[in-house]
Structure 1
Amino acid sequence: MVTPPPAEAAGQRIMTARVRCAWAERSPLERDYHDCEWGAPEHDDGKLFEFLILEGAQAGLSWSTILRKRDAYRAAFDGFDPERIARYDAHKRAALLADPGIVRNRLKIEAAIDNARAFLAIRDQFGSFDAYLWRFVDGRPRHNAWRHPHEVPVRTAESDALSKDLQRRGFRFVGSVICYALMQAVGMVNDHTVDCFRWAELGGHR
């Protein structure tokens, strides 16, 4: 095999390198999540419920911790099936508290069960959780144009409104910061920085 000259090899690396949001470079797991999921508009109720539960579990922890535990959460919480979770009894709750694969926090586990019941009530009222959730951005992603990570907010008027309404409907672990993280994750807002390749892919434009 012929090895290209150093200058040529370096040039190839520059041409093929992808610029990402800074946080995505911390680990391969976060990079894959960033490249494939974060900020992509999501309308599947099952996925929306999964993100709702995971964002609540993340409170006080790093998102990388939750990503590492994601498969364990899917197994422990029956694939994030809200109808099954809503029926969890004392035996199942005890099993979750003993599961080392998830965050063993009693309040967060109880909240997940309560949130499943509230989720089903919203689905019955609006036809889908998707129809309910996306109303808070008028049904379309909001494309921001942040140049630096420190410009990205942790809450907005929309996340405040969502948080207030979810709490009124019986949800827990849905403060405004958690709600904004949910909105970012499911693509209600495009908060990739403008130099990130995903910003344009998801519809950002100068």
Structure 2
Amino acid sequence: MAKILVVEDEEKLRISVEKFLISEGFTVCSADNGMDAVKKIKAEIPDLMILDIMLPELSGIQVCQIVRQDSDTPIIIVTALGSEEDILTGLGKGADDYIVKPFRMRELVARIQAVLRRRLPAQFLKKVLYLGELTIDLETVRLLKNGNRISLTPTEFRLLSMLAKEPGRAFTRLQLLEGAIGESYENYERVIDTHIFNLRRKIESNRGKPRYIETVFGIGYRFGDTI
């Protein structure tokens, strides 16, 4: 799996992020200030850096500028500074993505995977997703719940995989239709509701209060945070 450099001066958050990323199969190294981050990125050669902005010694923006002088290592800024100006500044200095605190760990992992997907060969990307009681094997096209095999139709598996790869992201019915079925006709959007109904029947313990596939009213659906 890919190596991630976590740069965060808040010890409790840094340790939490490190532990979660390790549990997701990543190799992790860390730094608690900007100067150390610059040294680590040269010594460790990570595949991606998670970078706080408000750091001792050098700010995250300064780190971004220094790194971008001779490296194209992907950078995801994670910070409490969430104004449009802050986001545009971070992206303008070379960051690939920007997440505002507080955030959900699965959203962070989804963002990491999305950035790496554009940068790394397929063999470095995660092929098995462990989400709560579910194990989704993208390579063998198998779904397990608490270790028990659950039979899905090909469309149901594609739909579940599309949602699960990006937890927290709200997909419209049209996006799900195009991604899981390959059709983009607006008149067919409600077909997704039928597939979601069947999928929930198979994976949810309480369909009235779904844990995995949440309805986003007025938009569509998203995969919930299962932690």
Higher RCO, 1 or 2 (CA under 8 Å, sep at least 6)? 1
Larger helix proportion, structure 1 or 2?
A: 1
Q: Same fold (TM over 0.5)?
A: no
Larger strand proportion, structure 1 or 2?
A: 2
